[in-house]
Amino acid sequence: MTAEMDLGTDKKAFQINLDAKKYGTFAEIGAGQEVARRFFHVGGAAGTVAKTMSAYDMTFSDAIYGTADRYVSRSRLQTMLDHEYKLLIERLDEKLGSLRTFFVFADTVAARSFKQHNESHGWLGVRFQQEPRGEPSQIIIHVRLLDQSNVDQQEALGIIGVNLLYGAFYYTQPEKIIASLQENIAPDRFQVDLIKFSGPAFAEVDNRLMSLQLVSQGLTNAVMFTADGEMVQPADILYKKAILVERGSFRPVTYATNDMLNGARTAFLKQCGDSEENLVVLMEMTLENLLAEGQLNHADFLARVDILGALGRTVIISKFGEYFRLASYLARYTKRMIGLVMGVPSLMEIFDEKYYLNLEGGILEALGRMFKSGLKLYVYPMIDEATGQILTATKLEVAPNLQSLFRYLVENQFIQEITDYDPANLRIHPPEVLAQLQSGDPAWETMVPPQVAEMIKSRQFFGYLAPAAG
């Protein structure tokens, strides 16, 4: 890191120290008091820091914050913020409450240690008042630290923590706060895969859109949220689970969308030997798909997510244009079976060599990376419009030089047909459904589940046009 970059972080910390209205606590567990150290290092911290603390020993940590199943977790961070903020108000409100805005910064981090080289990550959060004695607002983030040395990870943590505090204090737009997390630090040193804003300062914020910002602004490759819209850290959902993923535009979800997934689920559970309880089903949208019209349409994005949420689906938004990148990402979290659900057109794209010109090993490298963890493709058939025949995965025509490779993948069951399906659904094409609902043709309603049709009509999703009266 250059001195110039360091100066930027120090300048932020010093500005906070000179702000006579800000006063609070730093509580840091696991990777040193890296954020608090920044404020002491630049000078003037006595006007900002009411208390700093760190409890490395689990017995001490439990005595202060209560017992925990995991010390580097969202629940532990929340307990730290709750506990320290309560103490601030109890001890200082009478004396300083009318003069200062109180804050608590907390983090709990597993940085690289000399004993083991497991994934380094942490939870950081800030709870703060906007005006004296006001109700507090809060931002929490989950960070992956990518540096190889402990010292570098600690340094990165200090910079990110200062950025988070500075953004919370001086930026009103959440998008600006997210962008500022990257200031004064190289982008390959960390990722932020979860952010949640809450409290009066962020009353109008939709955290699903903020998750989308993390991906579009390059802070992470993927974000995830549950059917109820709650942001989740991927490891909390995927760890040691069997995973089935359907990629799509979901604009809108149709009977074919669900038929494809149900057919794949039946075959997947039979093969993986896991129970339904140990299966995670994800509906994936890529940033590339969301940018299909040139820019992110937030209303359109939320319409898709609301519909998937109503159907009980967990959503993943990713930057993984190529399937092998998605496969590598999922394999980081589980050793159990992973299945990708797709239609025949997507399988055709996988065997189109033009998509792998940027890889030294071309299509062989891409497929090797995709299938190295035992991943399987579950492929939904399509109707060949020219002949009217049903085209299944194993009957796909590929380039002559790829035929042997294709047969190998089919014969070893890496590529499998979805055989449990309703032939009537093969004639449902989402672009046609979308065109009908936008043109006032009521025929589209027969192609989507009833709750989807009701949501589209009642909330005017996707440019819905009601049929003409009479």
Task: Check whether residue 128 and residue 255 sit in a common domain.
Answer: no
Task: Check whether residue 199 and residue 253 sit in a common domain.
Answer: no
Mean pLDDT of the chain: 92
9 in any annotated domain: yes
Domain region containing 259: 236-427
- In one-letter notation, the amino acid at residue 13 is A
Q: How far apart are CA 133 and CA 238, in angstroms?
A: 41
Positive or negative, the Cα torsion across 200, 201, 204, 210? negative
pLDDT exceeds 70 at position 93? yes
Backbone angles phi, psi at 139, to 5 degrees: -130, 130
Domain boundary among 205, 227, 260: 205
The residues facing 22 across adjacent strands are: 101
Positive or negative, the Cα torsion across 47, 85, 183, 205? negative
User: CB-based burial of residue 359 (10 Å sphere; 0-12 exposed, 13-18 middle, 19+ buried)?
Assistant: middle
Higher-confidence residue of 331 and 470: namely 331
pLDDT exceeds 80 at position 100? yes
Task: Check whether residue 166 and residue 45 sit in a common domain.
Answer: yes
228 in any annotated domain: no
432 in any annotated domain: no
The residues facing 283 across adjacent strands are: 246, 315
CB 80 within 8 A of CB 108: yes
Beta-strand (E) ranges in 112-228? 121-128, 137-145, 190-198, 222-225
User: CB-based burial of residue 258 (10 Å sphere; 0-12 exposed, 13-18 middle, 19+ buried)?
Assistant: middle
Please report, for the domain that includes residue 241, its CATH number. Answer: 3.40.50
Q: What percent of the chain has pLDDT over 70?
A: 96
CB 370 within 8 A of CB 323: yes
| The pair of three-digit structure tokens given for residue 358, joined into one six-digit string | 């940027």
283 in any annotated domain: yes
Indicate the number of domains in the chain. Answer: 2
Low-confidence winner among 119-133, 212-226, 293-307 (lowest mean pLDDT)? 293-307
pLDDT at 293: 66
CB 341 within 8 A of CB 246: yes
Task: Check whether residue 259 and residue 390 sit in a common domain.
Answer: yes
Task: Check whether residue 165 and residue 281 sit in a common domain.
Answer: no
Q: How far apart are CA 202 and CA 172, in angstroms?
A: 9
Domain boundary among 189, 205, 221: 205
Task: Check whether residue 241 and residue 173 sit in a common domain.
Answer: no
Question: Where would I find the H helices in 192-332?
Answer: 207-216, 234-238, 255-272, 287-290, 298-310, 323-331
218 in any annotated domain: no
435 in any annotated domain: no
Task: Check whether residue 23 and residue 167 sit in a common domain.
Answer: yes
Mean pLDDT, residues 88-100 taken together: 95
Q: How far apart are CA 193 and CA 145, in angstroms?
A: 11
CB 53 within 8 A of CB 65: no
Backbone angles phi, psi at 66, to 5 degrees: 90, 165
| The pair of three-digit structure tokens given for residue 441, joined into one six-digit string | 């043709």
The residues facing 245 across adjacent strands are: 282, 340
Confidence of residue 464 (pLDDT cuts 50, 70, 90): very high
210 in any annotated domain: no
pLDDT at 273: 85
Instruction: Give pLDDT tens digits for 394-448.
Output: 989 999 999 999 999 999 999 999 999 999 999 999 999 999 999 999 999 999 9
Mean pLDDT, residues 22-44 taken together: 92
**Nearest alpha carbon to residue 302 among 207, 214, 179, 202:** 207
- In one-letter notation, the amino acid at residue 344 is V
Domain boundary among 186, 205, 224: 205
Q: Hunting for tokens 């929490």 — which residue is that?
A: 140
Q: How far apart are CA 283 and CA 300, in angstroms?
A: 16
Please report, for the domain that includes residue 143, its CATH number. Answer: 3.90.950.20
pLDDT exceeds 70 at position 4? no
Instruction: Give pLDDT tens digits for 314-336.
Output: 999 999 988 999 999 999 999 99
Half-sphere exposure of 73 (CA within 13 A, CB side): 10
What is the helix (H) or strand (E) element at residue 243, kind and residue range? Answer: strand 242-247
The residues facing 29 across adjacent strands are: 108
- Note the residue count of the chain: 470
Mean pLDDT, residues 370-388 taken together: 90
The b/e string for 435-450 (b: 16+ C-beta within 10 A; e otherwise) is: ebbeeeeeebbebbbe
**Nearest alpha carbon to residue 155 among 121, 185, 191, 116:** 185
Q: How far apart are CA 378 and CA 388, in angstroms?
A: 22
How many CB atoms sit inside 10 A of residue 39's CB?
27
Low-confidence winner among 82-86, 274-278, 289-293, 443-447 (lowest mean pLDDT)? 289-293
**Nearest alpha carbon to residue 154 among 220, 110, 219:** 110
Q: Give ∠ CA 313-316-322 in degrees, rounded to 5.
A: 130
CB 429 within 8 A of CB 444: no
Q: Give ∠ CA 39-201-318 in degrees, rounded to 5.
A: 85
Task: Check whether residue 408 and residue 279 sit in a common domain.
Answer: yes
Q: How far apart are CA 143 and CA 141, in angstroms?
A: 6
Q: How far apart are CA 100 and CA 308, in angstroms?
A: 44
Within 8 A by CB and 6+ apart from 210, the residues are 174, 175, 178, 195, 196, 197, 231
pLDDT at 114: 60
The residues facing 101 across adjacent strands are: 22
462 in any annotated domain: no
Task: Check whether residue 201 and residue 240 sit in a common domain.
Answer: no
Task: Check whether residue 99 and residue 183 sit in a common domain.
Answer: yes
Task: Check whether residue 178 and residue 312 sit in a common domain.
Answer: no
Task: Check whether residue 199 and residue 249 sit in a common domain.
Answer: no
| The pair of three-digit structure tokens given for residue 82, joined into one six-digit string | 């709750």
